[in-house]
């Protein structure tokens, strides 16, 4: 029995393929994409550096790649937003310094 043939000709198959491709993809500016990746990498490197420096919070953010670090960060904050947060201590002003310890 089997599925009925969806595309009658090679031209129709090609047209259907292009339509699927157009629906599933998006064009991205290379510079904007590179900047986004650089921001992602910076977050991951900051987490790894903080863990190396002994930060107890960073030690809970486990990820072997920048993408898995972002996923772990999301999961960590989602858990804290959901009420399993034990970090009641206020953040010291020095910890928010954006220019401090920036790596290239």
Q: Report the interface residues with Zn ion, using CB under 5 A.
A: 80, 85, 87
Residue 51 neighbours by CB under 8 Å, 6+ apart:
58, 59, 61
CB of 50 to Zn ion, least distance (A): 15
CB-nearer residue toward Zn ion: 38 or 79? 79
Residue 34 neighbours by CB under 8 Å, 6+ apart:
none
CB-nearer residue toward Zn ion: 8 or 56? 56
CB of 80 to Zn ion, least distance (A): 3
CB of 71 to Zn ion, least distance (A): 18
CB-nearer residue toward Zn ion: 10 or 87? 87
CB-nearer residue toward Zn ion: 16 or 85? 85
**DSSP output for 8-54:** SSHHHHHHHHHHHHHHH-----HHHHHHHHHHHHHHHHHHHHHHHTT
Report the residue number whose CB is nearest to Zn ion. Answer: 85
CB of 88 to Zn ion, least distance (A): 8
d(CA 59, CA 102): 20
């Amino acid at each position: 029995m089997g599925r009925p043939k969806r595309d009658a000709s090679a031209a129709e198959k090609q047209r259907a393929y292009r339509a699927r491709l157009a629906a599933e993809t998006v064009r991205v500016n290379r510079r904007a994409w590179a900047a986004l990746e650089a921001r992602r990498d910076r977050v991951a490197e900051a987490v790894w550096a903080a863990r190396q420096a002994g930060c107890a919070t960073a030690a809970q953010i486990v990820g072997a790649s920048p993408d898995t670090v972002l996923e772990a960060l999301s999961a960590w904050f989602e858990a804290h937003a959901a009420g399993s947060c034990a970090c009641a201590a206020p953040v010291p002003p020095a910890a928010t310094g954006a220019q401090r310890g920036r790596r290239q």
